[in-house]
Amino acid sequence: MKNFIFIIGFLTLITACQSANSTPIIEPAPTQTPLPTPIPDTSAPRISPTATIPPTPESLPYYFTDEFNDASPYWEILQTGGMTEPAFVYENSALRVDISSPDTWSIGIHNAYTYPNVFLRARASASPTGSIGLICRYDEEAGWFEYNVSSDGTYNALYGQWLAPGVVKYTPISSDRSGLLTVGSPNYELGLACQDNYLFLYVNDSLLRRLDVTNYGLIEGKIGISVSSLREAPITVLFEWVRVGLE
Question: What pLDDT, in 10s, does the model give residues 218-234?
Answer: 999 999 999 999 888 89
pLDDT at residue 26, rounded to an integer: 53
Q: What is the mean pLDDT of residues 145-164?
A: 95
pLDDT over threshold 50, residue 83: yes
pLDDT over threshold 90, residue 200: yes
Determine the Cα–Cα distance for residues 117 and 156; give it in Å rounded to an integer.
20
pLDDT over threshold 70, residue 11: no
pTM here is 0.79
pLDDT over threshold 60, residue 3: no
pLDDT at residue 59, rounded to an integer: 76
The rounded Cα 217 to chain-centroid distance in angstroms is 19
Greater confidence (35 vs 88) lies with 88
Question: Among 3-12, 99-108, 127-136, 158-167, where is mean pLDDT lowest?
Answer: 3-12
For the chain, the domain total comes to: 1
Range of the domain at 27: 5-245
Burial of 178 (0-12, 13-18, 19+ CB in 10 A): middle
Question: Among 55-69, 108-122, 208-222, where is mean pLDDT lowest?
Answer: 55-69
Express each pLDDT in 20-71 by its tens digit. 444 455 555 444 333 333 333 434 344 434 334 444 566 799 999 999 999 9
Which residues touch 230 (CB under 8 Å, ≥6 apart)? 102, 103, 129, 130, 131, 150, 151
The CATH number given to whatever domain includes residue 185 is 2.60.120.560
pLDDT at residue 16, rounded to an integer: 38
pLDDT over threshold 70, residue 153: yes
pLDDT over threshold 50, residue 14: no
pLDDT over threshold 90, residue 122: yes
Average pLDDT, the chain: 82
pLDDT at residue 108, rounded to an integer: 95
pLDDT at residue 79, rounded to an integer: 85
